[in-house]
Structure 1
Amino acid sequence: MEVGQKVRIRRLRDRVSDAVVKRLGQVGTIQSYKMTDGSGVGVLIQFDDKFSTWFFEDEVEPAS
């Protein structure tokens, strides 16, 4: 996955706020990467309404 790529939120690993749960199935754009726990990488996703948050890489998939 690359910065600028469109991705779909396919699952959520952890408990999250309702604002993030509403993003399940939505498409957003990768803005940057984030180190998670020292062994993983997350991606910062921005949605069309300018809301942004990060997800683990296995929570997103390329949007077609």
Structure 2
Amino acid sequence: MEVGQKVKICRLREKVSPEILKKAQEGQPAVIKSFKMTDGSGIGVFVEFADSTTGWFFEDEVQVVK
């Protein structure tokens, strides 16, 4: 995965806002804006949806959209 790639949320490990949950359930694409080191167990990604809503997810929660 790279900054600028389009992704969709394919699963959720933790509770998210109702707004993000709806976008994930609808399969709305988002763009990777940056990465975040998690607590030693992996990498997280910050994403932005078309309406400028942002959130971060674990790497295994997102899937690149082709």
For normalisation by structure 2, the TM-score amounts to: 0.88
Tell me what 1:53 maps to.
55
The answer on 1:34 being equivalent to 2:33 is no
Any stretches of 5+ residues in structure 2 without a counterpart?
none
Q: Which has the higher helix share?
A: 2
Q: State the one-letter code of the partner of 1:61.
A: Q
- Quick one: distance in 2 between partners of 1:52 and 1:16? 11
- Quick one: distance in 2 between partners of 1:26 and 1:9? 8
CA RMSD of the aligned region, Å? 1.0
Any stretches of 5+ residues in structure 1 without a counterpart?
none
SS at 1:23 equivalent: helix
Aligned residues: 64
Percent identity between matched residues is 56
Report runs of 4+ in structure 1 exceeding 2 Å deviation.
none
- Quick one: distance in 2 between partners of 1:61 and 1:13? 14
